[in-house]
Amino acid sequence: MTEQPEIHGVYVISVFAQLAGVHPQTLRNYERGGLLNPERTRGGSRRFSDADLAALRRIQELTSEGVNLVGVKRIMVLEGEIAEVKEAMNSLSDEARANVERTHRHYRRDLVPVQNTLALIIEKVRRPRADR
């Protein structure tokens, strides 16, 4: 399981910009464009988190590959949706597996397997009757 990035905003914009190697105005532009969403203090100051840093790294990766900011935003939204769907699928898969195991525990152990019974019936049907 991968470790989740820090969620709480702890970096002021100047420190975050230095960590990321970008100008603070770039961060403001990314926020205006909906690419970053830092927390705000009661006084309105931005507080960036490790999750914001991971998102910024992804933005930088995509833009260095030639994707414009509108495309970056769309890709990041789709990646978020894919992550949600994967999580839901894993949850449903776990639930289905548990249901199958629960069903198997209720099987009667004294019953004859159906495949053996069917083999006898099929064999009997295939044999031609001598009285015809």
Cβ(35)–Cβ(67) below 8 Å:
no
Q: For residue range 34-80, what is the model confidence (pLDDT) as tens digits?
A: 999 999 999 999 999 999 999 999 999 999 999 999 999 999 999 99
CA distance 22 to 24: 6
Q: Which CATH number fits domain 13-108: 3.30.420.40, 1.10.1660.10, 3.30.830.10, 1.10.10.10?
A: 1.10.1660.10
Q: What's the CA angle centered on 28, arms 42 and 12, to 5 degrees?
A: 50
Taking residues 8-34, report their average pLDDT: 92
Share of the chain above pLDDT 90, in %: 67
Question: Is 117's pLDDT higher than 90?
Answer: no
Ordered by start, the domain boundaries in the chain are 13-108
pTM above 0.85, yes or no: no
Cβ(51)–Cβ(75) below 8 Å:
no
Taking residues 89-105, report their average pLDDT: 92
> Which residues touch 33 (CB under 8 Å, ≥6 apart)?
69, 73
